[in-house]
């Protein structure tokens, strides 16, 4: 697929063909990483994860559970 580099304000920009946008499920504002290797460029979508508390809590097990830390008695006006 061939496209052109075009002026966009004080920068240069590459337009992505709609076929690529649809295939990679990109949209306006999608985060991407640009990697330069020798004399080539690579544009890769950044995976965005959405966290769900129920799924995260299901992942707690004895090997990754944190221990309780005793910070001692209250000093001052802390609320515990």
pLDDT in tens, 8-58: 999 999 999 999 999 999 999 999 999 999 999 999 999 888 889 999 999
Examine residue 35 and state whether it is found in any structural domain, yes or no: yes
CA distances 6 to 11, 15, 47, Å, are 9, 8, 27
Examine residue 70 and state whether it is found in any structural domain, yes or no: no
- What pLDDT is attached to residue 80? 65
27 lies in which domain range? 5-58
Examine residue 69 and state whether it is found in any structural domain, yes or no: no
Q: Has this prediction a pTM greater than 0.75?
A: no
- The rounded distance, in Å, linking the Cα atoms of 69 and 72 is 9
Domain with residue 10: its CATH number is 2.10.260.10
Average of per-residue pLDDT across 46-75: 89
pLDDT band at 71 (very low <50, low <70, confident <90, very high): confident
Examine residue 75 and state whether it is found in any structural domain, yes or no: no
Judged by DSSP in three states, 57 sits in helix
Count structural domains, the chain.
1
């Amino acid at each position: 697929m061939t496209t052109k580099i075009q002026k966009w304000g004080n920068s240069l920009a590459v337009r992505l063909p709609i076929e690529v946008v649809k295939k990679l499920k990109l949209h306006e504002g999608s985060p991407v990483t640009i990697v330069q290797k020798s004399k080539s460029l690579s544009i890769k979508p950044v995976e965005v994860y959405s966290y769900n508390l129920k799924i995260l809590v299901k992942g707690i097990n004895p090997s990754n559970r944190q221990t309780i830390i005793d910070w001692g008695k209250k000093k001052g006006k802390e609320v515990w």
